[in-house]
Structure 1
């Protein structure tokens, strides 16, 4: 797995020239997952879009588990280049970039959880986040935990606001807000506090992303200043 993720597989010195590359296989897999979700992904489906047979794909990657790891790191890509900023602005920008990546490829919310080996791009994202705190008065553990808390918040909001390919409800955010508003209008006596809060709220799901992120950063600021 490590060799696959880090592109360190030995290149055969003999035999026919490979018809495709592992990156090309992963790119096809990403297109399928973006359109239809991870459940639609299979070696047979991928082979149907490449000039190779299903069995030939196993010369490049042992199976679907390993392929998902490779395509996940490829889909994440390297973090965008940003101008040097103070730690708070740097972390905020980093978090919003991460959110954009999750919403561009929603299946990453499923494929990047649990104990697993990390590829170069995912580690580059971690490096960028930790680098923002390098000058702050935090221990290494506190820096890593800060990144974990921010990432967890970003992931949670992305999961709540994203429609996963292949699992669409057919509802937009506006549809959901209108439907909830109609229910609360007719059930105000039953849910008085929720109804009152909804009537004075404004904005989109991203408002929750930014609100929570700012509160996390407020807490970090107190820790750093203390």
Structure 2
């Protein structure tokens, strides 16, 4: 994981190189934003930055490490959160995270599974943990951040409402419960609120748990 941390540790010794990891990551992100993560390769990125594929291997061992650098660059630094209101702070954190995934949909896939983790990604976790109130164990604090992040990820990858409405319009008789819910939405409103609705229920449950322990 040294390649993710070398800037903080002073970098590698020797003459300054013409390329930087940030420049390589930016080129790879541009490809992934436009064509998806599958389109990213060492060869493609090398061509886009005007270097040979072998030249890129001086900076990164392979695609897995390239994707890790992309994720670090794409996530950026976490938002600055106020410690005064933990619910508001976690809401800001969640809104900022969903903005990252909306801007870079490939980051969902890139952040899954076993992989190198860098300072930006850990910084996001640190920021959320730091605003959690007293009354939770260490495991519960980590689980809280995981649940909120999972809520964000799940909503980014869910089918669009437009596609759902089109399908149910053509097959309403087969799915009466969905049809009834959509009909009620047409009258009462409230569509596209799953993110905030789910987050508030998570925070409600967390607040109840903490209050019961006081």
- Give the structure-2-normalised TM-score: 0.89
Q: Do the aligned residues in 2 keep the contact of 1:19 with 1:51 (CA within 8 Å)?
A: no
Aligned residue runs from structure 1 range 83-102, under 5 A: 83-102=82-101
Out of 193, 201, 204, the position equivalent to 1:215 is 201
Instruction: Show structure 2 runs of 5+ residues with no match.
Output: none
* Larger proportion of helix: 2
Counterpart position of 2:157 = 159
What's the CA shift for 1:154? 0.9
Q: Do the aligned residues in 2 keep the contact of 1:138 with 1:224 (CA within 8 Å)?
A: yes
Task: Indicate whether 1:68 and 2:64 are aligned.
Answer: no
Q: Distance in 1 between matches of 2:151 and 2:209?
A: 19
What's the CA shift for 1:195? 1.3
Moved over 6 A (4+): none
- Give the structure-1-normalised TM-score: 0.84
**Structure 2 counterpart SS, 1:48:** helix
Q: Distance in 2 between matches of 1:158 and 1:110?
A: 11
Q: Deviations over 1:27-77 (max 9, x none)?
A: 111111111111100111111111321111101111111111111111101
Q: Do the aligned residues in 1 keep the contact of 2:65 with 2:116 (CA within 8 Å)?
A: no
Q: Do the aligned residues in 2 keep the contact of 1:76 with 1:121 (CA within 8 Å)?
A: yes
Q: Do the aligned residues in 2 keep the contact of 1:79 with 1:124 (CA within 8 Å)?
A: yes
Instruction: Show structure 1 runs of 5+ residues with no match.
Output: 162-172
Q: Distance in 1 between matches of 2:68 and 2:10?
A: 15
Out of 175, 191, 194, the position equivalent to 2:175 is 191
What's the CA shift for 1:91? 1.1
Query: Aligned-residue CA RMSD in angstroms?
Result: 1.9
What's the CA shift for 1:192? 2.2
